[in-house]
């Protein structure tokens, strides 16, 4: 592999945003580098990037073939340039002879290499003539080489036709010895046009499948039964109605990363089960639902010893104790969380502080208050006083926290919640000790015993709450303008963000 750090790619006009390339300039520059380096640059230029949810080529191989004959000859004869296929399934395009012939040449040039196929569909699909089905037949005939298959806004009609063609091709060409339908499939993604479209593909035969992404499923969870592949390590399910609760996690014992967004648990599975589900490899879990019951159903009996990232969110304020459920998950798992994103009800501040005491390795904390009405309480001194460091280098509460993000109400004076954050932001590096003589404006800390652990410096804090009473005066009414200068310094350095719920800052930058 070439070392791109030694090459000024922009000098040879491979920038993505440049409107026009000079073929003459590219040809001249191409003789200044060894050809193996040029080939790596060309492959890099053909990478697929995202425009929203849709994949697009940075530059297509056909475009690069226009530069010079040497490049064209090399690209056409190198299968690696043709292993990624993006097909837009519009009705007019499907009936075009050029689409079928171009796709046929593309597949032929890819030789026997694994394929990454992206199907982008708009509008309803009509079966039409045999000519309109030819692109689907070509894709189905290459099903043994599918490495990545992604459907974006594909109608159920197209999925059913393609799945039927795959079944037919597998029946007629089973291989010798018989092979599975998708021997090379590693990643499968399906984004339905509506919530009532599901994938008809039976992926149980994809033994190498590692990544599964499903967006949209009918009110019956039956469609998910076609995706129970034990080797999956990454799963993303969005807009799923009729989720079979914790059973989903039990289907994927090797799961490392799970994302569940806008889910609704099937009524038949809302009763909590006592069967413990242990995931030895699960490292990241994200669950976002309308109701807390839908969220907690997925991890009520979960134990994940390797869990590092936990992100939970809901839309409706629940009547149950959120922190109690999260506390139980951490105790069951005995995990070392490093990233935590959780909702908060104003009455659970004490439970929040108690739960966070179980996460000494936490580096990033995001809290969003659910009941943010004008009359509800928010975080108070009970929470922020826990952040006070014990010495210039130590703290017992969240000693590794580097990023704090809170959105909600505040039931505390500005000086009382900002002072501990400023002190944590000015912590000395680990292992560093104050000299015997310190300046008068340096913070003073009480002495502690030798058991206190070194503390990381708070690198960033964002507080999004309406400024009710903002004052830099202590309880005795004495002015603390020196402390305000420290706050302004952190704000100007983008290490401290203070803003109202509408996004406007409490005070502008560059205040002196």
Tell me if 82 sits within 8 A of 109, measured CB to CB: yes
Tell me if 107 sits within 8 A of 142, measured CB to CB: yes
Residue where a domain stops, chosen among 33, 54, 82: 82
Q: Is residue 210 part of a domain?
A: no
pLDDT at 259 over 70: yes
* Structural domain range at position 369: 336-430+452-512
pLDDT (mean) for 207-214: 86
**Alpha carbon of residue 149 to chain centroid:** 19
Question: Strand, helix or coil at 484?
Answer: helix
Residues 6 or more apart in contact with residue 48 via CB below 8 angstroms: 55, 56, 57, 58, 84, 86, 116, 118
pLDDT at 310 over 90: yes
Determine the pLDDT at residue 290: 78
Determine the pLDDT at residue 448: 35
Q: Is residue 340 part of a domain?
A: yes
Sheet strands (E) in 35-89: 48-51, 54-57, 84-89
Tell me if 184 sits within 8 A of 114, measured CB to CB: yes
pLDDT in tens, 261-308: 887 776 655 555 556 788 889 999 999 887 888 788 888 888 999 999
pLDDT (mean) for 35-46: 78
pLDDT at 365 over 90: yes
CA–CA dist 56, 52 (Å, integer):
10
CA–CA dist 362, 482 (Å, integer):
31
Buried-exposed string 295-319: b where 16+ CB fall within 10 A, e elsewhere: bbbbbbbbbbeebbbbebbbeebbe
Q: Is residue 370 part of a domain?
A: yes
User: Which one has a higher pLDDT value, 352 or 14?
Assistant: 352
Question: Strand, helix or coil at 89?
Answer: strand
Residue where a domain stops, chosen among 65, 82, 99: 82
Residues 6 or more apart in contact with residue 358 via CB below 8 angstroms: 327, 330, 331
Determine the pLDDT at residue 93: 52
Question: Strand, helix or coil at 112?
Answer: coil
Q: Is residue 223 part of a domain?
A: no
The strand pair at 84-89 and 302-303 is best described as unpaired
pLDDT at 98 over 50: yes
Q: Is residue 6 part of a domain?
A: yes
Q: Is residue 504 part of a domain?
A: yes
Q: What share of the chain is helix, strand, coil (3-state, %, to 5)?
A: 35, 20, 45
Sheet strands (E) in 328-475: 339-344, 364-369, 403-407, 460-464
User: Could you give the C-alpha distances from 250 to 50, 187, 441, 506, in angstroms and in order?
Assistant: 32, 20, 57, 47
Total of domains in the chain: 2
Determine the pLDDT at residue 228: 67
- How many residues in total does the chain contain? 512
**Alpha carbon of residue 385 to chain centroid:** 32
Torsion, Cα of 24, 28, 31, 37 (10° steps): -70
pLDDT at 404 over 90: yes
Give me the residues paired with residue 425 across strands. none
Alpha helices in 53-129 (DSSP H): 61-64, 69-76, 91-94, 97-109
**Alpha carbon of residue 336 to chain centroid:** 20
Determine the pLDDT at residue 312: 93
User: Could you give the C-alpha distances from 247 to 116, 291, 312, in angstroms and in order?
Assistant: 30, 18, 18
Tell me if 342 sits within 8 A of 299, measured CB to CB: no
**Residue 186: count of CB within 10 angstroms of its CB:** 17
Provide the percentage of residues in the chain whose pLDDT is more than 70.
69
Sign of CA dihedral 73, 78, 81, 84: positive
pLDDT at 9 over 60: no
pLDDT in tens, 422-431: 888 876 444 4
Residue 119 has phi, psi (to 5 degrees) of -105, 120
Tell me if 408 sits within 8 A of 378, measured CB to CB: yes
pLDDT in tens, 471-498: 555 556 565 667 778 888 888 888 999 8
**Residue 435: count of CB within 10 angstroms of its CB:** 7
CA–CA dist 137, 141 (Å, integer):
6
């Amino acid at each position: 592999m070439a070392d791109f750090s030694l090459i000024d790619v922009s000098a040879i006009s491979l920038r993505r945003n440049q409107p026009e390339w000079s073929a003459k300039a590219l040809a001249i520059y191409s003789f200044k580098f060894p050809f193996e380096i040029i080939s790596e640059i060309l492959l890099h230029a053909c990478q697929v990037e995202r425009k929203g949810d849709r994949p697009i080529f940075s530059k297509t191989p056909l475009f690069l073939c226009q530069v010079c004959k040497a490049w064209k000859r090399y690209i056409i004869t190198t299968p690696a340039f043709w292993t990624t296929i993006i097909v837009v399934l519009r009705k007019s395009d499907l009936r075009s002879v050029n689409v079928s012939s171009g796709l046929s040449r593309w597949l032929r040039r890819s030789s026997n290499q694994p394929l990454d196929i992206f199907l982008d569909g708009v509008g309803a699909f009509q079966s039409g003539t045999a000519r309109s089905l030819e692109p689907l037949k070509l894709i189905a005939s290459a099903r043994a080489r599918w490495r990545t298959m992604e459907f974006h806004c594909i109608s159920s009609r197209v999925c059913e036709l393609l799945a039927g063609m795959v079944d037919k091709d597998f029946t007629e060409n089973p291989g010798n010895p018989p092979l599975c339908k998708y021997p090379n499939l590693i990643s499968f993604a399906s984004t339905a046009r509506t919530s009532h479209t599901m994938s008809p593909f039976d992926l149980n035969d994809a033994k190498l499948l590692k990544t599964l992404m499903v967006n949209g499923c009918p009110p019956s969870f039956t469609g998910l039964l076609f995706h129970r592949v034990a080797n999956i390590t990454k799963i993303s399910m969005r807009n799923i109605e009729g989720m079979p609760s914790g059973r989903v996690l039990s289907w994927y014992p090797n799961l490392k990363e799970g994302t569940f967004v806008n889910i609704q648990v099937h009524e038949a599975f809302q009763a909590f089960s006592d069967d413990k589900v242990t995931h030895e490899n699960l490292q990241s879990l994200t669950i976002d639902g309308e109701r807390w019951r839908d969220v907690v159903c997925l991890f009520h009996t979960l134990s994940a010893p390797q869990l590092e990232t936990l992100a939970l969110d809901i839309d409706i304020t629940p009547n149950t104790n959120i922190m109690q459920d999260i506390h139980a998950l951490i105790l069951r798992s005995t995990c070392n969380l490093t990233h935590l994103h959780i909702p908060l009800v104003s009455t659970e501040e004490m439970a929040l502080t108690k739960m966070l005491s179980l996460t000494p390795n936490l580096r990033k904390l995001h809290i969003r208050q659910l009941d943010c009405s004008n009359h509800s309480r928010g975080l108070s001194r009970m929470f922020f006083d826990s952040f006070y460091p014990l010495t210039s280098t130590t703290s017992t509460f969240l000693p590794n926290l580097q990023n704090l993000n809170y959105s909600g109400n505040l039931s505390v004076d500005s000086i009382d919640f900002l002072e501990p954050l400023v002190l944590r932001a000015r912590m000395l590096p680990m292992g560093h000790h104050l000299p015997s003589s310190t300046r008068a404006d340096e913070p003073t800390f009480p002495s502690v015993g030798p058991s206190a652990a070194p503390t990381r410096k708070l690198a960033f804090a964002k507080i999004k709450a309406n400024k009710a009473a903002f004052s830099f005066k202590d309880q005795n009414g004495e002015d603390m303008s020196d402390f305000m200068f420290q706050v302004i310094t952190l704000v100007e350095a983008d290490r401290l963000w203070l803003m109202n719920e509408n996004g406007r800052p409490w005070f502008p930058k560059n205040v002196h």
